[in-house]
Amino acid sequence: MEKPTKIAVPRGKLGVLLPGVGAVATTFMAGVELVRTKKALPVGSLTQMATIRLGKRTEGRSPKIKDFVKLARLEDMVFGGWDIFPDSSYEAAAKAGVLDAKHLALVKTFLSKIKPMSAAFYHEYVKMLNGKNVKKGKTKYDIALQVKDDIARFKKKHGCSRLVMLWCGSTEVFMKQHEVHATPESFEAAMKENHPAIAPSMLYAWAAITSGIAYGNGAPNLTVDVAALRQLAQEHNVPIAGKDFKTGQTLLKTVLAPAFKARMLGLNGWFSTNILGNRDGEVLEDPGSFKTKEESKLGALEFILQPHLYPDLYKKIHHKVRINYYPPRGDNKEGWDNIDIFGWLGYPMQIKVDFLCRDSILAAPIVLDLVLFLDLAQRAGMRGIQEWLSFYFKSPMTAPELYPEHDLFIQLMKLKNTLRWMMGEDLITHLGQEYYD
């Protein structure tokens, strides 16, 4: 792809559309409001807190990312969403139990006004949920057109100059690419005949892309990872990115595994288990939804460790991932990892990680960064898969012939170098010989 010559300045309102107004979406919206009213800090967000080094180490140029690439301002964001439950975003946030009473009180008026539009939903794709705030229509195509109408209405009502859609809805049942996903024509025909290979998340994605709106996928769902939607994204000049926010356990996995590989330490096994008690955990009790999440969580190790290149170290890895729904914990997930490594002459060692995390607190800044970077990509004329956003995902989307990059620090370098490239700055290679000439 050619370097963007001109990046449009972010003028006017940026509409943020969220299918799924649950724990993550409400924590994100509440957080943006608390930050822009100066009541909290955007901890965890690169776009708000991180700097980027430009030029040589001796130049001392390290602007904030948001100033360097001119990201949209939080003050210019307006929010909308869809959910199968009619609760306002305030009620949904209160039920999710992520934010404490003090924070909830501060955003009550703001969140109460954001009411979800009726959802494109079919129970067989998320078997643990039943809700009444659901669109009616003869075919999936009719439903997708209703989503397009919702988008157009939202844009007009709020006077948005740009929009981004980011899936914060539930994990759907496991799906593989099907022949109906091959082309935009076969995809549209499949929507018209209510084909089972068209999941609800795909209806939102199709509606967004064909409306010229960037789409990000926060769940492990197949959604935009099919040929037809990739082609439509190219044709409509729309950036797409996914999938599955990299928040807790996998974040640490993609930090630790590169360290073992860097030091040529071997790995026999990695057992990861979780307890969590939020609605996401309940949805993942269904084996179909769990399979989607499991596939997403399992991928990282294989790609980082490259057992085909290092058979002595990584050929026989027992990698297991478990998720257990345990209501008393709510959104405060506990993720345990037992890691069996081996060193010099094959002597075994163990590492235990116990991460008492907060799922949505980790996910919310990722939502913010993805919204702002997808908007930037679109203003810069970048379309199709945005691999430089792999940093944020458990299963990064890539061109079909490429393997995904999972190492967090390679992902970060890729992200920052992409920003430098967009702005015509030198890429940073970390060679550094010039300092010693």
Scored b (16 or more CB within 10 A) or e, 315-343 reads eebebebebebeeebbbbbbbbbebbbee
Which position among 34, 114, 119, 202 is part of the footprint of ligand NAD (CB under 6 A)?
Answer: 119
C-alpha to C-alpha distance for 89 and 114, rounded to whole angstroms = 6
Using CB under 6 A, which residues numbered 319 to 348 contact ligand NAD?
Answer: none
> Does 188 interact with ligand NAD (rule: CB under 6 A)?
no
> Does 245 interact with ligand NAD (rule: CB under 6 A)?
yes
Which position among 68, 79, 85, 270 is part of the footprint of ligand NAD (CB under 6 A)?
Answer: 85
Nearest residue relative to ligand NAD (C-beta)? 22
> Does 24 interact with ligand NAD (rule: CB under 6 A)?
yes
Say if residue 172 is exposed, middle or buried (CB neighbours under 10 Å; 0-12, 13-18, 19+): buried
Maximum distance among all alpha carbons in the chain? 72
> Does 82 interact with ligand NAD (rule: CB under 6 A)?
yes
CB of 152 to ligand NAD, least distance (A): 18
Q: How many residues bind ligand NAD (CB under 6 A)?
A: 37
> Does 19 interact with ligand NAD (rule: CB under 6 A)?
yes
Which position among 33, 280, 286, 294 is part of the footprint of ligand NAD (CB under 6 A)?
Answer: 280
C-alpha to C-alpha distance for 213 and 200, rounded to whole angstroms = 17
Q: Does the bond joining 113 to the residue before it have cis omega, within 30 degrees of 0?
A: no
Say if residue 157 is exposed, middle or buried (CB neighbours under 10 Å; 0-12, 13-18, 19+): exposed
> Does 169 interact with ligand NAD (rule: CB under 6 A)?
yes
Which position among 46, 74, 93, 120 is part of the footprint of ligand NAD (CB under 6 A)?
Answer: 120
Q: Which is nearer to ligand NAD, 217 or 261 (CB)?
A: 217
> Does 200 interact with ligand NAD (rule: CB under 6 A)?
yes
Q: Which is nearer to ligand NAD, 254 or 422 (CB)?
A: 254
CB atoms inside a 10 Å sphere around CB 306: 13
CA distances (Å), origin 376, targets 104, 239, 257, 297, 422: 30, 10, 31, 28, 10
CB of 96 to ligand NAD, least distance (A): 6
C-alpha to C-alpha distance for 305 and 312, rounded to whole angstroms = 11
Across the strands, what pairs with 81? Answer: 18
| Residues found near ligand NAD in the complex (CB under 6 A) | 19-25, 82-85, 96, 119-121, 126, 129, 131, 168-171, 200, 218-219, 244-245, 247-248, 278-280, 283, 359-360, 362-363
